[in-house]
Chains A and B, each alone.
Chain A
Amino acid sequence: MQIKTFVLGIDGVPYTFLQKQFAKGAMPNLKSICEKNGFQQMNSVFPTISAVAWATYMAGVNPARHNIMGFIDRIPNPFEITINTGSGRKAESIWEALSKKGQRVIVINVPMTYPPLPVNGILVSGFLCPDIARVSYPADFSRYLQDKGYCIDVDAQIAHESRLTFIQQLQHVMKNRFDIAFDLIREREWDFFQMVIMETDRLYHFFWDDLEDGHEYSGQVQTFFEQLDEKIGILLDKLPRNSRVLFLSDHGFCRLNSEVQVNNWLEQTGLLKFSADGKKNLQNYAPETVCYSLLPGRIFLNLKGREERGTIKKEEYGSVRNYVKDVLASFKNPQTGENIFARIFDREEIYEGPYLESAADIIVHPSRGYDLKSRVGEGDIFNKCFMNGMHTYSDAFISGINLDVSTVKTIADIKNILTA
């Protein structure tokens, strides 16, 4: 009989966070798994954002080979901001590869899997699916989900209204997702099962301070992790003993000290310009612009022949890019003198493949605590915000039962192990 594989993705859970939980005796089930089977820190991807990280995980290749560069993107000419969907992915996912081999798969709630593309089994798409009626392949499986009270995602808007309601809903949706998975584990025939818990990402974004400093909701947040751990315990009981089980997060988290509006800063340096008469938004940037940014930290040069109002000549591309990088490197927190950008890459330094052209010309990664945003024309360069947690690159985690994950250094390395 085919050995079953179950992958539980827990969005944004940092390796160091789990270390602390384990040290204080919390989350006993996951702790015992990690102690027995190995527990490693893992690198995510640049830019460190769930859309790119999960796409990289499922495709097992770098973004220039799967073509998902962020949640949002731009069409350069005529200029337009668009939202990426899973159908823009150009490389085969783990479950598509396994489907081709005849394995039966169940995939639940992985970001960037909307629209739900066919698999040999069931796929329930995740974050950014707009409508439960269109959440699944096969389409009529959504009825089963609706009957069981399935919720794609808790509306983060609620957090702005009632933090307590938000956290209670996160707990409920997480538990409900596990319960449905437990039913499917029993009711359906499958060889590969993948589920992602997204609620952890929301918790860290909105409650990092509570976690670290014991604020108002720290008890509720801790309860969430205890409930999660309990479900992990039940999950193991429900899987056959010889199953291969993988636990991972797609990136880490840390405290968010300040949001950085990169475009506002670019405007201040004179690299980004707007015509005097029009409204200030990216659609209206002036032809003299040297570069603009999309979130997070993706810098596009205003290249002639590519951008709608491009003025930088092809032959100047290299020298202009170097110049921009020098300017980027000079960006410091005026109060502390700390560098805002910890790392500045030419795209070809970190990417390789046929879709390199879709990537930003320069990708910057922030120093700890600075969350890179791309607001235009309103407000300051630095601002506090409602959220207090942000993503980190090097602090994701991975742990595997009956699976050797010792060779996994980054999230792109996992597919090979699962499809070998």
Chain B
Amino acid sequence: MNEFERLKFVIVGHVDHGKSTLIGRLLYDTNSLKKEKIREVEQKSGELGRDTEFAFVMDSFKEEQDQGITIDTAQVFFQTAKRKYVIIDAPGHVEFVKNMVTGAAQAEAALLIIDAEEGVQQQTKRHAYILHLLGLKQVIVVVNKMDLVTYSQERFEEIRGEIQTFLKSVGVEPLMYIPISAKNGDNIVAVSTSLSWYDGLTVCDALDSLKCRKPITDKPLVLPVQDVYKISSKRITAGKIAEGKISAGQPIIVLPEGQKTVVKSVEKFLENVTACSAGESAGFTTNDPLFIERGNVVCSEDTKTAVRSTFKAHVFWLAKIEFEIDYKLLFRCATQESLCQIVKIEHKIDSSTLERIDGHAKKLKNLEVAEIVVKTDKPLVISTFNEIEELGRFVFEINGNLCAGGIIIDMAN
């Protein structure tokens, strides 16, 4: 058991394809449930005249049990012999895509679940596309309810073919495809005898084969400034290091202005340190009394970023409120903020069919994806998502509420 690791993964897919049942099963089969909880679930299932309904393990809210759908993202903890896990259960219903994104944005890996009987559905595709937009690289496809299709290899291959084609077109390459029945426990922890034609890993082993996200310490420094504190006589600049390291004596450049100075000291409370690296909430002082403020990005000379106010992005609209092209929006990227305008909608993409629609649209509606050109009021320190994740992803905010997320794909000059 690796005590030091905890992998976060999200389970996504169309409503009713069995996410909650899979989670219940995982908890049950790995003995992560307390006896009282098992009794409670069995009792509830009995009252409703059903076999043990593993989905009830997850359902802490009454509404959900009655309607049989998950409305919000929820997190539960379990462990295998190898390590600890956090499962993020994301709702499958189209109404709750916003909640699904909240869950999936925190994950290091994803299971995409598909009902063997119903096959690939609208939300299956939309969720797969969101995984791509969120930059999730570790994806496992599970084909559930194999018991309903007599454990047919042919049906499994058919679904695999269909989703594979779709995933390929959005740039997602799953690590593996696993036929399961969450209800009966086939290929969850124990190898299924009903699926003897399948010789790959079980869900549990597949999870154990995933890698935890590691802080990027070996690239040049990126430190978005969160705040500046005056502590005794020192001015300490604070922020969480996105990439690279910061150490005393290191030359740094403060963007977007580009002031140069040298790190005088690295500060941690009650600790004597000379360096901090990616993932750490760090603090430091500088040799020169520079004016540094929230929204600045501290870099080293060789950090591959740029100061821009116009760029191209993919955006995923996640608010009931419809957006019209001349609205002012608040753009937030790392700790930077600026009012901005979407100056052009290149095209929209139907997130469930991937069709390009509306060449010259002026509006964005809930759940639509678009390729857009953004112009910010202030020049900002940005990057493409592929280069520096932290400076290549952003959210839009209207009236204090986040309404969209996106990634920068091209930095126009």
Chain A residues with CB under 8 Å of chain B are: 85, 87, 115, 117-118, 139
Contact = CB atoms under 8 A, between A and B. Distances in A.
Interface in B269-312: none
**Overall SS of chain A's interface:** loop
Given A117-B1, A118-B2, A118-B4, A87 B82 contact: yes
A127 B2 CA distance: 20
A87 B209 CA distance: 16
Given A87-B1, A118-B4, 11 more contacts: A85-B81, A87-B81, A87-B82, A115-B81, A115-B82, A117-B1, A117-B2, A117-B82, A118-B2, A118-B5, A139-B209
Contacts of A115: 81-82
Interface string B4-17: 11000000000000
Contacts of A118: 2, 4-5
Interface string B205-222: 000010000000000000
Contacts of B5: 118
13 contacts: A85-B81, A87-B1, A87-B81, A87-B82, A115-B81, A115-B82, A117-B1, A117-B2, A117-B82, A118-B2, A118-B4, A118-B5, A139-B209
A145 to B, nearest CB: 17
A139 B4 CA distance: 17
Contacts of A85: 81
A118 B5 CA distance: 10
A22 B260 CA distance: 72
Interface of B: 1-2, 4-5, 81-82, 209
B323 to A, nearest CB: 46
Nearest to A138: B211
Nearest to A90: B1
Contacts, number: 13
A207 to B, nearest CB: 35
A139 B82 CA distance: 12
Contacts of A87: 1, 81-82
By Cβ-Cβ distance, the 10 closest A-B pairs, closest first, are: A87-B81, A87-B1, A118-B2, A115-B81, A117-B2, A115-B82, A85-B81, A117-B1, A139-B209, A118-B4
Nearest to A119: B2
Contacts of A117: 1-2, 82
Contacts of B82: 87, 115, 117
A118 B212 CA distance: 12
- B2, B4, B5, B209, most chain A CB atoms within 10 A: B2
A87 B81 CA distance: 6
A139 B2 CA distance: 14
B215 to A, nearest CB: 16
A251 B115 CA distance: 54
Nearest to A89: B1
A87 B1 CA distance: 5
B14 to A, nearest CB: 32
A83 to B, nearest CB: 12
B79 to A, nearest CB: 10
Contacts of B209: 139
B140 to A, nearest CB: 16
A85 B209 CA distance: 18
A67 to B, nearest CB: 12
Contacts of B2: 117-118
Nearest to B2: A118
B180 to A, nearest CB: 20
A321 to B, nearest CB: 28
Contacts of A139: 209
A139 B212 CA distance: 13
A118 B4 CA distance: 9
A117 B2 CA distance: 6
Nearest to B208: A115
Nearest to B79: A87
A92 to B, nearest CB: 9
A53 B2 CA distance: 22
B190 to A, nearest CB: 14
Which of A85, A87, A139 lies at the interface centre, i.e. has the most chain B CB atoms within 10 A of its CB? A87
A117 B3 CA distance: 9
A115 B2 CA distance: 10
A78 to B, nearest CB: 12
A84 to B, nearest CB: 11
Contacts of B81: 85, 87, 115
Nearest to B5: A118
B276 to A, nearest CB: 17
